[in-house]
Every structure is written in C-alpha cells, then in structure tokens.
C-alpha cells in the first residue's frame, strides 16, 4: 500500500532514529521530527500564504471586471487571466503545495504503522505502543481543535472582514472532519505528528499577524497593478 512512498518512509525512519539517539524518548523525537519537516515545508507554506494575500488584494479589481464583462464570458476569462498574470497570482499553486505535502503525510502514516510497535513514550502514557490508536481520542481531538482554530484566524487583520465568519467556519469544519476521520483509528504517533504540526501552523499564522510577518507576506506587492496601491 505504501510502496510508492517507501523511500520517504525509509528516510523518515532514519531521521527519527537519529533524533531518538539525542532525545532518548520516542514522543519527543516525533515532535522534533515534525518541527524539522515543517521547517523544511515553510517556504511552500509561505508561497501559499502569499498567493492567498495576492488574491485578496486583487479582489476589488476582479469584481469590477465581473461587473464590466458580465455579459461576455470569454472576455471576462481573458481579462481575469491578464489580471492574475500582472499580479503574480497562480490559482493552481495552492493545490500544488497541498499535493506535494500528501506523500509526506502518507509516509508518516506508513512509518508509524510499520515501526510504531517498537515505540512508546512517557509523553503518551495511555498507550502501550505508538502503533496503537488513541483509545481515548485525546490527540485526534486536540489536533482537530488546533486545525479548526488555525482555519478561523485570517492571515492578517484586514482579511477578517473579507471572508464571512460562517464561510471560514464551514471550511475549517470540513478540514477538521476529514482529518478527524483519518486520525480516529490511526496510530497514536500520527496524532502526535498532526497535533505538533497543527500547533506549528497556529504559531505560523500568529507570526504572519506580526509586523515582521506582514513584511514577509507583502514582499513583492510593489509588483501589483498600480490600481491596487
């Protein structure tokens, strides 16, 4: 089942063993491995965040185009693509980022399913091994809560009124339901991985709300069409 991600599983297993030699606890080792992986993925997540910001910034001009060419669908499509090109918006880039992260998630699942039986930790004392699922569902619930909270926080304060609260809540709930179904009976180590990753995402979102984070997000905004300034 995990044949096509076996090289990734082998790499993650080697990294986890190296980290364990330092941490001397499998739970801490998984947390550190997660932070390492999320650190490597930060440039991809930053790219996605910037694309989100760009789409928000060009939304007023996009609405004008929709009103101007509401009776001319081909012209509207052409002008929309021109606007995207000028602003640097790549609509498919966010899907590309998500697709690139899926093999890592699947490899983590395979890693803990095949190697988790030899792992345990005082970090999670209510399971005998990390290959077992969380019978108390503590980590799946925690991961779901952190994922929902992250989804409810916009990248910047200016985006708070841009997307209706109900829409943000619905989108977050769909994501939470999807991953909760996966984590409910998955190896408990995968729940620890996702909980740590969700906490990283929450802190990442908080960073984007700081002055430095906004500068990082807005880098390159000068390249937007003049009408957006």
Q: How many Å apart are CA 86 and CA 76, to the nearest integer?
A: 15
Residues 153/139, Cβ–Cβ less than 8 Å: no
User: Which residues, in sequence order, are bridge partners of residue 187?
Assistant: 133
Q: What is the mean pLDDT of residues 183-208?
A: 93
Residue 173 · residue 148 · CB < 8 Å: yes
How does DSSP classify residue 25? S
pLDDT score for 160? 62
3-state secondary structure 124-185: CCCCCCCCCECCCCHHHHHHHHHHHHHHHCCCCHHHCCCCCHHHHHHHHHHHHHHHHHHHHC
Cα–Cα distance for residue pair 147/153, rounded to 1 Å = 10
Supply the Cα-derived Rg of the chain in whole angstroms: 21
Alpha carbon dihedral 217, 171, 2, 4, in 10-degree steps, equals -50
Lowest mean pLDDT among 34-38, 44-48, 184-188, 191-195: 44-48
Which residue range forms the structural domain that includes residue 34? 3-228
C-beta of residue 209 within 8 angstroms of C-beta of residue 156: yes
- Judge whether 192 and 146 are in contact, CB under 8 Å: no
Dist. CA 131–CA 186, nearest whole Å: 8
pLDDT at 16 over 90: yes
Tokens of 157: 């304060």
Question: What pLDDT was estimated at residue 167?
Answer: 77
Asked if 75 contacts 68 with a C-beta cutoff of 8 angstroms, the reply is no
Are 9 and 174 a contacting pair, CB within 8 Å? no
CA-to-CA distance for 67 and 76, rounded, in angstroms? 9
**How much is the pLDDT for 17?**
96
pLDDT band at 38; cut points 50, 70, 90: very high
Q: Is 187 helix (H, G, I), strand (E, B) or coil?
A: strand
From residue 160, give the alpha-carbon distance in Å to each of 17, 98, 156, 227.
43, 24, 7, 22
* Number of domain units in the chain: 1
Instruction: Tokens 């395979």: give the residue.
Output: 110
Round to whole Å and give the CA distance between 209 and 171: 21
Q: Whole-model pTM?
A: 0.85
d(C-alpha 196, C-alpha 202), whole Å: 10
pLDDT tens track for 81-126: 999 888 888 877 767 777 778 889 999 999 999 999 999 998 899 9
- Most confident segment among 28-32, 52-56, 58-62: 28-32
């Amino acid at each position: 089942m995990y044949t096509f991600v076996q090289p990734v599983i082998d790499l993650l297993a080697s990294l986890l063993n190296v980290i364990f030699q330092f941490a001397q606890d499998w739970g801490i080792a998984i947390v550190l491995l997660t932070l390492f992986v999320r650190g490597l993925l930060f440039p991809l997540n930053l790219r996605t965040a910037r694309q989100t910001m760009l789409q928000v910034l060009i939304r007023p001009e996009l609405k004008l185009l929709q009103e101007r060419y509401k009776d001319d669908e081909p012209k509207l499509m052409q002008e929309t693509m021109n606007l995207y090109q000028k602003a640097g918006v790549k609509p498919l880039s966010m899907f590309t980022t998500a697709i690139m992260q899926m093999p890592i998630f699947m490899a983590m699942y395979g890693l803990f399913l095949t190697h988790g039986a030899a792992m345990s930790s005082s970090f999670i004392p209510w399971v005998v091994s990390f290959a077992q699922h969380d019978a108390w569902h503590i980590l799946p619930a925690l991961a779901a809560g952190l994922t929902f909270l992250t989804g409810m926080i916009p990248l910047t304060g200016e985006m708070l009124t841009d997307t209706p609260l109900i829409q943000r809540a619905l989108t977050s709930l769909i994501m939470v339901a999807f991953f909760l179904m996966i984590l409910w009976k998955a190896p408990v180590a995968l729940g620890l991985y996702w909980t740590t990753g969700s906490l990283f995402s929450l802190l990442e979102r908080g960073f984007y709300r700081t002055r430095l984070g906004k500068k990082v997000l807005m880098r390159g905004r000068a390249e937007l069409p003049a009408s957006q300034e």
